[in-house]
Structure 1
Amino acid sequence: MNRYDRQEKFNKIGQMGQSLIESKKVGIVGMGALGTHTASTLVRAGVRQLVIIDRDYVELSNLQRQTLFTEEDALLSLPKVVAAKRQLEQIRSDVTIETYIDHCDSAVLHDYFMTCDVLIDGTDNFDTRQVINDFSYKTGIPWIYGACVEATYAACAFIPGTTPCFNCALGSLPVMNRTCDTVGIIEPAVSMAASFQSMYALKLLTEELFESKLIFGEVWNYEQTALKFSRTKKSDCPTCSLPIFPYLSDHQHETMLCGRDTVQFRKVTEKQLELEQFLNNRHIEFQKTSYFIRFSFNSKRFMWFPGGRLLIHDVKSINEAKVVYHQLFG
């Protein structure tokens, strides 16, 4: 039996739509809760080419809602994109997956995502979404927003040349300034956001003409709303009206990771041997794997990745992280 028989029988997709799905490339920014859900759904639906990026590694607290990971992945502290790729290849052996263990910024998007047909937001970071939004409207590649916290969820497709952009629609989006680490999250809220993201992705991949709506709801109390936003376009929007794409030129050296008590520093040193020599000279013990170097200093946990990215854990602010950083590196 045809692997996609049931999907092809759905009259909105059919054999032609299935062929389109298999011919397209999808980029997913972030392999957390939303990213793992949508990656699994789309590979099962027939997507054969994926580009995935995430700057983090698997922890036990991820397993409650991030569906492609196991306890073994967490115990090994595997990078999320590495663990995700292994599981996705178990779903479809001939899938082609490009993986990047990195922070998503303007340069990364231009280097790795230019050939994608659609981008999916799997981040938990407002600034990164602004970069994706600028990149999308500059290149013409549509992107699909998703968010969830507590029992609430939201999703929307932003399509250059068709819809207003993320900046224009912000006033209509539900306020989600809470974070999972403070108020928690339940998996059904993740599933709802990811389901709507996947639905929008399938529409875009099969080239269906549709009206994108802002979808948001609350699973615990059975509430959901879908709003039109075609009239939210702002004449002075720097992304989709002027356009000057301000977020593509913003290169922040330090970033606070949402809900992690962790700060990321960009480009500390790109030379692994140089870092190892530095740590040896300071008599700091470290663990080295194929993916990172991990060590502790002044009761703070550090993790360095090839390419120069450094995470400092157990800090409450960027300023605190800077103090520890300069105590170590001067």
Structure 2
Amino acid sequence: MKYNMSERYARQELFYGIGKEGQKKLTGKKVAIIGCGALGCTSANLMVRSGVGCVKIIDRDFIEECNLQRQTLFDEDDISNNLPKAIAAKKKLQKINSNITIEATVAEINPSNIDSNLHDTDLIIDGTDNFETRFLINDYCVKNAIPWIYGACIGSIGITMSIIPGVTPCLRCALQDIPTFGSTETCDTAGILSPASGIIASIQAAEALKILTDNVAAVNRYLLKFDLWKNEITRLKIHNLREINICKTCKSNQFEYLKMGKYSATTTLCGRNAVQIVPVNGSNINLPMLASRLKPIGNVSFNKYMLRLETDKYVVTVFPDSRVIITGTNDLPTAKSIYAKYIGM
């Protein structure tokens, strides 16, 4: 059923910053949201409701019970159905707006697939949980002149920054290098307050709407940080960082993170007692065949999106692209050993 679009967006079109012309522009745009956790769920919801013509959701993970506290597109049925986040999100979002295109990709963005997934996007929203992927997105966006909105949230603290290549400083202008491992808080150590992630994602969505409707003058030019629990808001001036820093990305055009040598194939997952392993020479896996082989080892369930093996100590989730998430440990050597034991190296 196709609904009356003039009624759907009427209140948004009344807003002076968008109007009917802005709404027409949104209809012709494509936004990619990388990561469908707390930030990604909220920003995807807002992009779809705003009438962006195509919304693409890219996420590597599946839904767990601890996600339901803050990841607003998911429910208990999604857990029972063993759905990847991207697929479950698409199903929900299609019910919200059937007049736009919603794409879902179950994958981890890396140097080998980033161009095939993002080459036709007008804007990218960051919903990731790690700096390695953010620096990769930053390199790609600067190289290809694609605007993107950085966002992060830990505990009650949220931070965001809008990046328009050639106009504003890039993420590497502000941070220069990935923070040293263990030097920053994670969801595991600090937790996360759901209203905080909702606010950051809403700011990201608002910034996206400004850019997509060509209201660049209205874009936030600060690095915005708040602590919702302490009622503190900080705006850090960053407009001159492109001039005073010798940025490896937007000044030197080195794009180090687009090279596979900078990419970690094995990583711990934020907020989870889990490790992801991405085989260097991965290929598509026959999930039914693997399920048959693993049945004697533990409880096995699978669908076309993923396979899950439950043993006494670990849960091993295998995706068709050969990625594996091992839940029950955050020790990399242990995870690799489990991978070799059950999947084969």
Q: Same fold (TM over 0.5)?
A: yes
1:230 and 1:46 map into 2 onto residues whose CA distance is 31
Q: Which residue number in structure 2 is paired with residue 186 of structure 1?
A: 193
Q: Which residue number in structure 2 is paired with residue 218 of structure 1?
A: 227
Contact 1:51 1:113 in 2 (8 A): no
TM superposition shift of 1:247: 0.3
2:297 and 2:43 map into 1 onto residues whose CA distance is 44
Q: Show the 5 A alignment for 1:40-189.
A: 40-170=45-175, 177-189=184-196
TM-score, normalization by structure 1: 0.93
- Aligned to 2:332, which of 295, 303, 318? 318
Q: Which residue number in structure 2 is paired with residue 264 of structure 1?
A: 276
1:89 and 1:319 map into 2 onto residues whose CA distance is 41
Question: Alignment identity in percent?
Answer: 40
1:319 and 1:237 map into 2 onto residues whose CA distance is 35
Amino acid at match of 2:228: V
2:339 and 2:79 map into 1 onto residues whose CA distance is 26
Q: Aligned to 1:2, what secondary structure does the other structure show?
A: helix
TM superposition shift of 1:269: 5.1
Contact 1:168 1:232 in 2 (8 A): yes
Q: Which runs of 5+ in 2 are unaligned?
A: 1-5
Q: How many residues align?
A: 329
Q: Aligned to 1:63, what secondary structure does the other structure show?
A: helix
2:83 and 2:136 map into 1 onto residues whose CA distance is 26
What whole-Å deviation, never above 9, does each CA across 1:141-197 have from its counterpart, x for those lacking one? 0110011111111111111011111011127x9999211222211111011101110
Residue 12 (structure 1) aligned with residue 17 (structure 2): yes
Residue 247 (structure 1) aligned with residue 252 (structure 2): no
Could you say what the CA RMSD is over the residues aligned between the two structures, in angstroms?
A: 2.3
Amino acid at match of 1:190: S
2:299 and 2:77 map into 1 onto residues whose CA distance is 24
1:305 and 1:48 map into 2 onto residues whose CA distance is 29
Contact 1:56 1:79 in 2 (8 A): yes
Q: Aligned to 1:136, what secondary structure does the other structure show?
A: helix
Q: Which residue number in structure 1 is paired with residue 3 of structure 2?
A: none
Q: Show the 5 A alignment for 1:222-233.
A: 222-233=231-242
1:80 and 1:141 map into 2 onto residues whose CA distance is 25
Q: Aligned to 1:26, what secondary structure does the other structure show?
A: strand
1:283 and 1:297 map into 2 onto residues whose CA distance is 7
2:304 and 2:292 map into 1 onto residues whose CA distance is 17
Q: Which residue number in structure 2 is paired with residue 201 of structure 1?
A: 208
Contact 2:291 2:302 in 1 (8 A): no
Distance change in 2, residues 1:235/1:220 (3 Å): closer
1:296 and 1:4 map into 2 onto residues whose CA distance is 46
- Aligned to 2:290, which of 271, 275, 286? 275
1:51 and 1:187 map into 2 onto residues whose CA distance is 23
TM-score, normalization by structure 2: 0.89
Q: Aligned to 2:114, what secondary structure does the other structure show?
A: helix
2:330 and 2:228 map into 1 onto residues whose CA distance is 31
